[in-house]
Every structure is written in C-alpha cells, then in structure tokens.
C-alpha cells in the first residue's frame, strides 16, 4: 500500500490500473482483455475518455458495461454493445483490417524486447508449468496499432531469456519487426507495479521512463532478470487522484455486488 502526505492510499494493482487507463484516449479503439485491462479501459471510459470504443474478443463492439465482465462471454458485454459480430469477423475485418488502435496483453514471462511467453515454464517437452497458451495474443500483437503490456514485476517473470516465445514483441530488437513485414508499432508501453517501461527508439529494448511513488531504482533492478536501463530523464509517476480511485473502487464494488461476491 502506497500513501502520500494527504493519506490518499492505493494498492499496487490500483496504481497499475490507473496508469494503464491514463494511456488511453477517447479516439482509441481498444482490444480489451479480461481482468486488469478491462478495469483500466472502463476506468478511462468513465473518466477522461468517454468516447473510447471498447472491443472484446467475443465480438462485442463499442460495449459499455456497467460492471466488469467475468469473461469475454459475459452477457453484460452483449447487452451494452452497439453490435456483436462473429469471432471470425472480429479478427478478419476489425483486427486484421487495422481498425484497432490499442491492444492490452499480459504474459507469464517477458524479456527486454517485450517478447512474451504464455506457453510453458521450463523445457517445452518436460515443463515445470504448462500455461494457457497463446489464444489470440500473437495476432493481437501483430495487428493492433500498438500494444500495452501489464505485468507484476519480478525476476520470475522479467527474464533474460524466455523459456518459450509465444508472442513476438520486438524480437531481437532494432528493426526486427519491420524486417518481418510488420507495420504496427508493437509494444509501446510496459506497465508494472513498480514503474513504466517504453522501448528505446533505436534498439527497442524496454527502458524505465517513469517510477511509481515510493519505489526505488534498486527495487526495480532487483525485480528484473536483465541489466535494466533507465532513460536519461526518468519521471515520477503521478499518484492516483481521488477521482480515479473513487471511480475505480465504485466499479469494483458494483461488480462484486452483481456477481454476488460483495
């Protein structure tokens, strides 16, 4: 729990959600994931980005849920959507057609070039942990205008070398995406519970550009499995405002009541 002199306190998850929400605008068409990305996108819609278009993988277009969905198949999404299309149309027309500006992705592991692993931990044929797999992540990473990655930071997840490359971020860095014919930006922001990373303009290595209040550089280094780099000028992330926290907490409270978990 972080706290400032005015006793406004927040959790690490709330900080990640607020920072993710701030990165969105009313002009965005956003491919939303369940969990923290869904909370962030709806927080943006309920505060500074009322015109944002939210699209869930199940095919709901311009949905405006009053509570957070349990899954992409939650009826709340269809009930509040402008329209619902088939999954093939979602991927072929909307995603592959270049109509989605921002996508959110998580990962079990990430490397310095924002490649993601959601397949296995350990050797592929004898893994210590078998993960859910790719889903639509590789295509989302390739076809959305840009990608925001949200992950809790630790040496277990921020690794020097992935056990398996599920989703291609910036590959080996530099112009690797362009050499493969990818025309989108790829990962432009990595938001963690400690800081914000953005890709170096030339190398595409993810470097720290903003540090959350109460976090030190040593804490970031200790939670990163590669020699982490810091931008020449590193900002301090603005603390969550009273309005942001109030709207976010009310959204979660409504969701818990709706799902009978309050």
Q: Which residues are catalytic?
A: 57
Q: Please state, in angstroms and rounded to a whole number, the distance separating the CA atoms of residues 252 and 17.
A: 12
The answer to whether 166 touches 127, Cβ cutoff 8 Å, is no
Using the structure block, give the residue that is written with the tokens 């592959």. Answer: 96
Tokens coding 202: 């030339």
The answer to whether 84 touches 177, Cβ cutoff 8 Å, is no
C-beta neighbour count of 242 within 10 angstroms: 10
The answer to whether 115 touches 171, Cβ cutoff 8 Å, is yes
Q: Is the dihedral of CA 105, 106, 109, 111 positive or negative?
A: positive
Q: In the chain, where does DSSP find H-type helix? A: 12-22, 36-46, 75-79, 87-89, 137-143, 176-179, 217-222, 242-258
DSSP lists the bridge partners of residue 67 as none
Q: Please state, in angstroms and rounded to a whole number, the distance separating the CA atoms of residues 7 and 20.
A: 23
Give every CB contact of residue 260 below 8 A, 6+ residues apart in sequence.
none
**DSSP H or E segment with residue 231:** strand 230-236
Q: Is the dihedral of CA 152, 136, 179, 20 positive or negative?
A: negative
């Amino acid at each position: 729990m972080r706290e400032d002199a005015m006793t406004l306190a927040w959790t690490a998850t709330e900080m990640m959600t607020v920072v993710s929400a701030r990165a969105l605008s009313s002009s965005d068409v956003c491919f939303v994931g369940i969990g923290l990305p869904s909370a962030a996108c709806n927080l943006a819609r309920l505060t500074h980005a009322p015109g944002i278009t939210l699209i869930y993988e199940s095919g709901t277009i311009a949905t405006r849920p009053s509570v957070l969905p349990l899954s992409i198949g939650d009826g709340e999404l269809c009930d509040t959507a402008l329209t619902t299309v088939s999954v093939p149309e979602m991927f072929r027309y909307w995603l592959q057609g270049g109509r989605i500006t921002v996508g959110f992705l998580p990962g079990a592991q990430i490397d310095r070039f924002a490649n993601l692993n959601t397949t296995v931990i350990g050797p592929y044929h004898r893994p210590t942990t078998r993960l859910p797999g790719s889903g639509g992540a590789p295509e989302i990473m390739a076809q959305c205008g840009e990608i925001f990655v949200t992950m809790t930071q630790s040496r277990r997840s921020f690794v020097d070398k992935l056990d398996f490359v599920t989703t291609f971020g910036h590959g080996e860095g530099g112009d690797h995406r362009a050499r493969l014919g990818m025309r989108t930006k790829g990962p432009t922001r990595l938001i963690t519970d400690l800081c914000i990373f953005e890709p170096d303009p030339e190398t595409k290595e993810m470097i720290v550009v903003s540090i959350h209040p109460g976090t030190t550089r040593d804490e970031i280094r200790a939670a990163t499995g590669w020699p982490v780099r810091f931008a020449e000028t590193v900002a301090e992330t603005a603390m969550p405002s009273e309005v942001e926290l109030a709207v976010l907490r009310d959204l979660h409270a409504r969701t818990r009541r709706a799902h009978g978990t309050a």
